[in-house]
């Protein structure tokens, strides 16, 4: 496991726990030293996570969020509408995932929380730096979307369905 993967899992652990998560427990679980966990916490703080240190462990100081994975399909031209619609309803497009028949599952972190971030992502695509992952799977892909409540995710799901982007299996 890379350091980045470990830090992602530590964040997920803190998001799932209401009680402080002891650094000693994290070190033992990930088979690293306590100092590595301290360094991980410093890197996560530098990345923008508001982590509080207590005498009983670490707490992620952020609103509780929920997540859902949506299977979607749309054209390149519809990508802007899809992303803007999700963030306008209060969602964060955390990742894009494709399941390729040869290469298997591929996932990329996006963390698109606003129109500005969506626009920057779309500009990178339009500039030719790369092409969307969805293009290698006939436009089929998944988005892990985070939000503040199940109600927000329900609104996003309904919007995706109404616009014809949601793939219902």
Domains of the chain: 3-60 (1.10.10.10), 66-162 (3.30.1340.20)
Q: Give the Cα separation of 23 and 38 in Å (integer).
A: 8
User: Which whole-number Å values give the CA distances from 72 to 81, 108, 144, 162, in the listed order?
Assistant: 13, 16, 11, 12
- pLDDT tens for 4-29 read 899 989 988 888 877 899 999 999 99
Q: How far is Cα 32 from Cα 37, in angstroms, rounded to an integer?
A: 7
pLDDT tens by residue, 36-95: 999 999 999 988 788 999 999 999 886 667 899 999 999 999 999 999 999 999 999 999
Write down the mean pLDDT value for the chain: 91
pLDDT tens, position by position, 112-133: 999 999 999 999 999 987 888 8
Q: What pLDDT score was predicted for residue 143?
A: 96
């Amino acid at each position: 496991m890379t350091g980045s993967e470990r830090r992602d899992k530590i964040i997920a652990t803190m998001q799932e726990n209401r009680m402080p998560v002891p650094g000693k427990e994290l070190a033992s679980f990930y088979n690293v030293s306590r100092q590595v966990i301290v360094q991980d916490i410093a890197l996560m703080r530098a990345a923008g996570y508001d982590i509080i240190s207590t005498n009983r462990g670490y707490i992620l100081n952020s609103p509780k969020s929920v997540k859902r994975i949506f299977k979607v399909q749309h054209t390149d031209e519809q990508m802007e509408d899809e992303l803007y619609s999700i963030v306008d309803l209060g969602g964060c497009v955390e990742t894009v995932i494709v399941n390729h028949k040869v290469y298997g599952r591929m996932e990329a972190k996006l963390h698109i929380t606003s129109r500005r971030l969506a626009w920057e992502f779309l500009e990178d695509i339009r500039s030719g730096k790369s092409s969307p992952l969805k293009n290698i799977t006939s436009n089929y892909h998944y988005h892990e979307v985070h939000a503040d409540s199940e109600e927000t995710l329900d609104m996003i799901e309904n919007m995706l369905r109404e616009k014809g982007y949601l793939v219902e299996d």
